[in-house]
């Protein structure tokens, strides 16, 4: 019988000192493993003129270079299928996932039997913290395939003992019908698909998703779930609680999740990942001593067999709250601000696309919630005014709507926008990650 509150209490409530000692011990073992098994990482040690024995502190770790997503992709091009960082033979690989990323060819992520068990153990803590229990009927509304969200989360639902409905994406009507017939209580999906589903259920099937009996929508895979206005919309559409979890396709499906206090996502896996927070501009590691720390998450696996990463730049920008939480979990709490790749700098002011969306959503019900930020040259520097297409909810919106949104964006985010209102349903919907930026160059 699991503890009522924690799935693995000894890890979830471990003191900072004990976590540090555990991580240093595991890091040392992992680095020795990498230097023995991974040509990719052997090169990193040589380039830094270091041996695994030289790393006995976080400061030592910071002397090793970062790994970029492009490095992993290149490693797989040179040495297919899983790259020079594979670290195991194919016979030991039990499954391969693909991470699409925002650009270019996918990178493939292999897991061994050991890695699979570690994922299940680590992710189960997050799903338990969010409130999934054995009496739940869980509708999987994420793609079950190469996508790192589908199968691993399905494994976890079964591990916890809830009832899995492995529906996936591709047929929204089947998903709605299955929720109805099987009396699902939990829906797992992306924030944008949660709202899209509500829209088409109503229009195409005459079904109000708020009456389906879903009591909990678990979202992830894109930042929307952490944005108050997006969450409010999901909760209203489904008449359900919405919780968020954060992960990384190259590292683990979920590493951080909300507890019942719903005040940010606790970092749940200090025994699996070492997380550094860096300044994305300078690469300097930020001290975690302050109550609030902002920066980009950088990950190092602590006991990964296949495709381990060392100082991997996630490009996810977070605000970390290190103060105690009422639930008793000791993991710091993260809020995702956005992808540092997506950051726009307009006349020296940092503007996150998700913040633009939050302002625009404040104009519901006049707007539908769909929008595109149009860039005619690569970011992050963008010359004002920034062109933003915003879909209205009504075919004939109020005459001053564009001007009001423009003024609100200027007041809240301090940049100049050019608003182009577009008619209802004219912006393309997706079942997976919603793209806020459209690149036209």
Least distance (Å) from Zn ion to the CB of residue 94?
Answer: 33
Among 8, 11, 111, 259, binds Zn ion (CB under 5 A): 259
Query: What is the CB neighbour count within 10 angstroms for residue 428?
Result: 10
Please say whether the beta carbons of 270 and 22 come within 8 A.
yes
Strands 333-339, 312-321: pairing is antiparallel
Per CB under 5 A, does 327 bind Zn ion?
yes
Write the Ramachandran bin of 69: left for phi over 0, alpha for psi from -120 to 50, otherwise beta. Answer: alpha
Stretch that binds Zn ion, among 37-45, 101-109, 198-206, 251-259 (CB under 5 A): 251-259
* Phi then psi dihedrals of residue 295, to 5 deg: 165, -165
For Zn ion, the closer of residues 249 and 327 by Cβ is 327
Beta bridge partners of 318: 295, 336
Among 205, 325, 375, 393, binds Zn ion (CB under 5 A): 325
SS3 145: coil
Beta bridge partners of 301: 273
Stretch that binds Zn ion, among 42-50, 71-79, 290-298, 318-326 (CB under 5 A): 318-326
Residue with tokens 């924030």: 191
d(CA 21, CA 24): 5
Least distance (Å) from Zn ion to the CB of residue 324?
Answer: 9
Per CB under 5 A, does 268 bind Zn ion?
no
For Zn ion, the closer of residues 221 and 259 by Cβ is 259
Least distance (Å) from Zn ion to the CB of residue 128?
Answer: 12
Compute and round to an integer the Cα radius of gyration of the chain: 22
Least distance (Å) from Zn ion to the CB of residue 342?
Answer: 28
Measured between its terminal Cα atoms, the distance across the chain in Å is 57
Least distance (Å) from Zn ion to the CB of residue 317?
Answer: 22
Stretch that binds Zn ion, among 36-44, 85-93, 147-155, 319-327 (CB under 5 A): 319-327
Per CB under 5 A, does 261 bind Zn ion?
yes
d(CA 421, CA 205): 28
For Zn ion, the closer of residues 257 and 302 by Cβ is 257
Count how many Cα atoms sit within 13 Å of the Cα of residue 234 in the half-sphere of its side chain.
28
For Zn ion, the closer of residues 73 and 335 by Cβ is 335
Least distance (Å) from Zn ion to the CB of residue 263?
Answer: 7
Per CB under 5 A, does 62 bind Zn ion?
no
Least distance (Å) from Zn ion to the CB of residue 258?
Answer: 8
Applying CB under 5 A, the residues found at the interface with Zn ion are 259, 261, 325, 327, 329
């Amino acid at each position: 019988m699991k503890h009522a509150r924690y799935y693995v209490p000894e890890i979830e409530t471990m003191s900072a000192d004990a976590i540090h000692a555990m991580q240093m011990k595991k890091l040392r073992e992992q680095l020795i493993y990498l230097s023995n098994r991974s040509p990719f990482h052997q090169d990193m040690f040589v380039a830094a003129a270091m041996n695994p024995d030289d790393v006995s502190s976080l400061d030592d770790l910071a002397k090793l270079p970062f790994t970029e997503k492009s490095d992993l992709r290149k490693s797989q091009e040179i040495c297919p299928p899983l790259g020079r960082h594979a670290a195991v033979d194919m016979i030991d690989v039990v499954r391969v996932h693909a991470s699409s990323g925002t650009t270019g060819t996918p990178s493939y992520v292999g897991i061994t039997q050991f890695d699979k068990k570690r994922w299940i153990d680590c992710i189960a803590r997050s799903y338990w913290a969010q409130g999934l229990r054995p009496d739940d009927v869980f509708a999987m509304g994420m793609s079950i395939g190469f996508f790192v969200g589908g199968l691993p989360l399905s494994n976890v639902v079964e591990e916890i003992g809830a009832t899995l409905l492995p529906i996936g994406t591709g047929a929204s009507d089947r998903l709605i019908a299955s929720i109805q017939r099987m009396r699902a209580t939990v829906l797992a999906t992306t924030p944008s698909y949660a709202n899209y589903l509500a829209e088409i259920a109503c229009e195409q099937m005459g079904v109000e998703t708020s009456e389906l009996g879903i009591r909990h929508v678990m979202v992830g895979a894109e930042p929307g779930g952490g944005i108050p206005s997006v969450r409010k919309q999901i909760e209203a559409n489904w008449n359900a609680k919405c919780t968020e979890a954060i992960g990384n396709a190259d590292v683990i499906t979920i590493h951080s999740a909300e507890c019942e206090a719903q005040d940010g996502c606790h970092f749940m896996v200090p025994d699996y990942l070492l997380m550094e927070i860096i300044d994305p501009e300078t690469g300097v590691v930020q001290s975690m001593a302050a109550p609030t720390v902002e920066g980009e998450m950088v990950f190092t696996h602590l006991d990964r067999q296949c495709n381990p990463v060392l100082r991997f730049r996630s490009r996810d920008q977070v605000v970390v709250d290190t103060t105690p939480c009422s639930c008793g979990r000791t993991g710091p709490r993260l809020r995702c601000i956005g992808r540092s790749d997506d950051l726009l700098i307009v006349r020296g002011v940092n503007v996150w696309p998700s913040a633009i969306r939050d302002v625009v959503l404040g104009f519901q019900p006049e707007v539908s919630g769909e929008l595109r930020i149009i860039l005619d040259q690569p970011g992050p520097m963008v010359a004002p005014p920034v062109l933003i297409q915003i879909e209205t909810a009504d075919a004939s919106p109020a005459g001053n709507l564009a001007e009001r949104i423009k003024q609100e964006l200027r007041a809240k985010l301090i940049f100049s926008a050019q608003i182009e209102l577009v008619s209802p349903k004219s912006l393309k919907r997706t079942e997976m990650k919603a793209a806020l930026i459209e690149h036209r160059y």
